Amino acid sequence: MLFDSKQKRAFQTVLSGLKLSMYGNRPVRFLTLTTSSVMAQSVDFVPGVLNSHFQVLRKRILRYSPYRLFVEGYITKDEMSRFYGHSNLFKKFSFDYFKVETNEGNGVLHILYRGSYLPYSWLSSVWSEIHNSPIVNIKLLNLHDSIKTSCYIVSQYVSFQYSSYVRSSQSWDWVFHGFKTLWYGLRQSYPKTCFELWDAYLRRLATFRFITTLEDFG
């Protein structure tokens, strides 16, 4: 599969985040947020509002905990323990992401996120409240096929040859702040072994960031 230079950069970003998640045994989910026709026709639908509303959602996610979901009726007591474990019930959620905005339909966000399990009912309710659009989709990814997943995300959504692509971005902790500078330096200095060295670096980073912590959200 042939990518242009911008797609190659996006591919490296997606793949690095997925591998970091796999080495740290952190689940990654594919989240799709849509824009309803009602929202698209409202006076609030201005350029940039989709990403602005996504940031509102992200901040709300970070304020929630499993216990709060239980109190508000989105999960049962059994689900609270099953999805989050007994030691994490009051711990705030994490949410590291790579997202692509397209102009499909009325505007769509395709998001890879590493972090806590988020019930569909809660996501639909909150996105409806924030963006007047209740339709969302979420599924767990198989991280042992990270290269195939990265190729799919980039080829389907980060296509600069078609008008559907708008922009892509990621949170600092999807990989780490400044990772592109390190990667390009490694590639320039060690062109023959840069991929193996980068892979080894991600393994060590995952051990430091995830395996040595108590975080264990499903």
Extract the runs of DSSP E, i.e. beta strands, from the chain. Answer: 28-34, 95-102, 108-115, 136-140, 165-170
110 close to 100: Cβ distance less than 8 angstroms: yes
The predicted structure's pLDDT at residue 212 = 52
Give yes or no for residue 154 having a pLDDT over 70: yes
Q: Locate 101 and state its tokens.
A: 């905005």
Domain with 135 in it: what CATH number? 3.40.1310
47 part of a folded domain: yes
- Phi, psi angles (nearest 5°) of residue 30: -105, 115
215 part of a folded domain: no
123 part of a folded domain: yes
Q: What is the rounded CA–CA span in Å between residue 25 and residue 8?
A: 25
217 part of a folded domain: no
Give the pLDDT band of residue 189 (cuts 50, 70, 90).
Answer: very high
Give the pLDDT band of residue 215 (cuts 50, 70, 90).
Answer: very low
43 part of a folded domain: yes
Extract the runs of DSSP E, i.e. beta strands, from 142-186. Answer: 165-170
Q: Name the DSSP letter for residue 134.
A: -
Q: How many other CB atoms are there within 10 angstroms of residue 33's CB atom? A: 24
* Domain tally, the chain: 1
132 part of a folded domain: yes
Give the range of the structural domain holding residue 165, as residue numbers without chain letter.
5-176
Lowest mean pLDDT among 101-105, 136-140, 141-145: 141-145
91 part of a folded domain: yes
Mean pLDDT value of segment 38-45? 92
The predicted structure's pLDDT at residue 163 = 56
185 part of a folded domain: no
Give the pLDDT band of residue 214 (cuts 50, 70, 90).
Answer: very low
